[in-house]
Amino acid sequence: MLIDFHTHVGQVWNNHEELTPEGMLRWMDAHGIEKAVLLPLESPEGASFYILTRDALALAKAHPDRFIPFCCVDPRMAINGGKAGIKTVIQRYLDQGAKGFGEVKVALPIEDPRMQVLYEICDELRLCVLFHLDGIRCTDRAGLPGLERMLRTYPHVNFIGHANGWWASISADMTDDQMNAYPKTPVVPGGAADRLLTQYPNMYADLSAGSGHNAIARDLAHGRQFLERHREKLFFATDYLMPGQEVLQFDLFANLDLAKDTWDLISHRNAQRVLNL
């Protein structure tokens, strides 16, 4: 059983073909992926074209055994009624089947007051929040002090880390200028990502994209221990979003040959538990 916790059906970037629902299902079948989380992108800094919540919800309705829809709202949208208005929109998405909030890929600091309105609503609704942290989106400093304050302030939100800034923070020598980097040096133990996963029950991470792959592959000995240590907090994920995309996660996990209970958790059981599937 394999659940992919991070995918985008549609056209994310202008320089590739559209990933159709049929293309997505064919790719899932070819790789033994039973279910995939469909993440909308509804912020101008997130993609070349918007990937809409309503499309993710409709696709999941058509293929309930294959697609798990998330919802998102950009906090800068012209929604009437302030926080209560935004909550009404999110509640409507939940009523239509949304299982989580994200991908949050907004060019604001991760602890911007406008972002905190979203976290506050997700805290009340017990919704997880999947965020893209790099030098442009959901920004923070090395050591991730802003994210840590959010983990403390919104204890009922399961925050799911993703992208370069989050994953470069696996190493304690991470600096502010590595927020968009794929560092290749051996990991210095005690990085912020490692520490937050240990200290906060509401910190999770998805292993998708070049950044998630690199965090493990840059130092396989450390990566293996990291996967074991946080086996209840990590999700298998790819960030598949275009036809023919090279996905490095398949070979990585085949070669790692993790203990069966560790792989069971990362491949699907954590997703089932956190999303109440």
Single out the segment in contact with Zn ion by CB under 5 A; choices: 30-38, 101-109, 113-121, 252-260.
Answer: 101-109
Rounded Cα distance, 35 and 238, in Å: 12
Residues 119-158 within binding reach of Zn ion (CB under 5 A): none
DSSP 119: H
Residue closer to Zn ion by CB (options 189, 243) is: 243
Residue closer to Zn ion by CB (options 4, 239) is: 239
Binding mask 193-232 for Zn ion (x = CB under 5 A): ----------------------------------------
Single out the segment in contact with Zn ion by CB under 5 A; choices: 89-97, 123-131, 134-142, 235-243.
Answer: 235-243
Which residue has tokens 């159709």?
A: 20
Residues 74-93 within binding reach of Zn ion (CB under 5 A): none
Residue closer to Zn ion by CB (options 72, 187) is: 72
- Give alpha helix (H) positions in 68-191: 82-95, 113-125, 145-153, 164-168
Min CB(210)–Zn ion separation in Å: 11
Full DSSP string of 19-79: B-HHHHHHHHHHTT--EEEE--B-STTT-SS-B-HHHHHHHHHH-TTTEEE-B---TTS--
Min CB(85)–Zn ion separation in Å: 26
Residue closer to Zn ion by CB (options 187, 216) is: 216
Residues 6-65 within binding reach of Zn ion (CB under 5 A): none
- CB burial of residue 257 (10 Å; 0-12, 13-18, 19+): exposed
Strand order in the sheet with 101-104: 101-104, 129-132, 159-162, 203-206, 234-235
Min CB(166)–Zn ion separation in Å: 12
- CB burial of residue 130 (10 Å; 0-12, 13-18, 19+): buried
Rounded Cα distance, 224 and 258, in Å: 8
Residue closer to Zn ion by CB (options 103, 219) is: 103
Q: Could you tell me how many residues of this chain bind Zn ion (CB under 5 A)?
A: 2
Binding mask 236-255 for Zn ion (x = CB under 5 A): ---x----------------
Enumerate binding residues for Zn ion (CB under 5 A): 103, 239
